[in-house]
Amino acid sequence: MPKDSSHVPRSIEALRELAVAIGRGEAPVSLGSKAHAVLARLVAQPEAVAFRTITELSDDFGVNPSTLTRLATRLGFSGFADFQAVFRDSLSRNSRHFYTQQAHRLMDRPLARETTAEMDVVVKLAQESINNVEGFLSQLEPDELRSAAQRLATARRVRVHGLRQIHSLASFLTYGLGMVRADVSLLDGPGLGVAEGLAQLEPDDVLVVASVAPYTRSVVEVAHAAAQAGIDVIALTDFRASPLVPPAHHAFFIPHDSSYISNSMGAYLVFCECLVNLVARELGDAALQALERREGFIGELGIEVL
């Protein structure tokens, strides 16, 4: 990074853009994979970075405090305090604490005497999902969101791909998009395999891919193959150091920190609901017509019981 202080990122948004650019090899500074992963986690947790000590943060990330100091200086800051000031200044300007305050009210509320260990588990998981939703809200870029919704609305074909636990998320998003537009399916929906699914797509079609740490290798490979073929890739993932970011035209970062036995999908489902609504808004009357047509078949076939 040039020593000229004018080139040092002075906002959380600029740091997030830098983290993505580093992953794509498009930044004026390079970082090792470990340092890049730490930067991606830092910009995903602005409140923690703003108000926790360097020792607390290094303990959370499993690194030495000196690693955070070296990262800051590598990015052009005078030290970690200078780096941390970016987060404190940004948060003080935005004053976005509503969701955090709501979460604290839930956690601080005394439990009734009859509350059981089972209720404690439910409250804890619910609180963690609230935190994850807040986490993706704090990282959303309106222009990026609008552009992705437009592509999902106007592309001739849309395919969605995710494996293992994420397969359920891919199915959920496919169903939602399929309510408001035609030619949406899972990439390997017919059971023919991903290669055959990719072969059905043409340049400017859209592929939505999703994976979180530990990332599924084949999903990453599919994303790269699609991008090389001129297919627009939209990635739903966790950090800016995710291997899904380099091949993606649009990437959205959704935390999954939780005491759930696996990766928590709550915030991912909420994000997908938001995305479907935005696509429906882009489509306007066409979305309404698609929903009416669907409802007509449901009624004709007597699928629902009132």
The pLDDT tens digits for 186-211 are: 999 878 789 999 999 999 999 999 99
Q: Are residues 284 and 225 in the same domain?
A: yes
Helix (H, G, I), strand (E, B), or coil: what is residue 210? Answer: strand
> Do residues 36 and 119 share a domain?
no
Structure-block tokens of residue 224: 């790269």
Confidence category of residue 160, pLDDT binned at 50, 70, 90: very high
Q: Tell me, what CATH number does 158's domain have? A: 3.40.50.10490
Rounded Cα distance between 242 and 36, Å, is: 10
Closest CA to 222 of 160, 152, 272, 268: 160
- The token pair at 111 is 């439990």
Does one domain contain both 133 and 209?
no
Contacts of 219 (CB under 8 A, 6+ apart): 161, 162, 163, 166, 209, 210, 211, 244
What local confidence, expressed as pLDDT, does residue 243 receive? 95
Residues 147 and 295 in one domain: yes
Question: pLDDT band for position 112 (50/70/90)?
Answer: low
Select the more confidently predicted residue: 1 or 112: 112
Task: State how far the Cα of 209 lies from the Cα of 251, in Å rounded to an integer.
Answer: 10
Three-state secondary structure call for residue 74: helix
Q: Does the residue 202 lie in any domain?
A: yes
In which band, very low, low, confident or very high, does the pLDDT at 8 lie, cut at 50, 70 and 90? confident
Residue among 98, 88, 95 at smallest CA distance from 11: 88
* 151 and 279 co-located in one domain: yes
Question: Which range of residues forms the domain containing residue 154?
Answer: 142-300
**Stretch among 5-14, 182-191, 230-239, 290-299 having the lowest mean pLDDT:** 5-14
257 pLDDT more than 90: no
Burial label for 298, CB within 10 Å (0-12, 13-18, 19+), is exposed
What is the tally of structural domains in the chain? Answer: 3
72 and 169 both lie in a single domain: no
Do 76 and 133 share a structural domain?
no
Residues 30 and 162 placed together within one structural domain of the fold: no
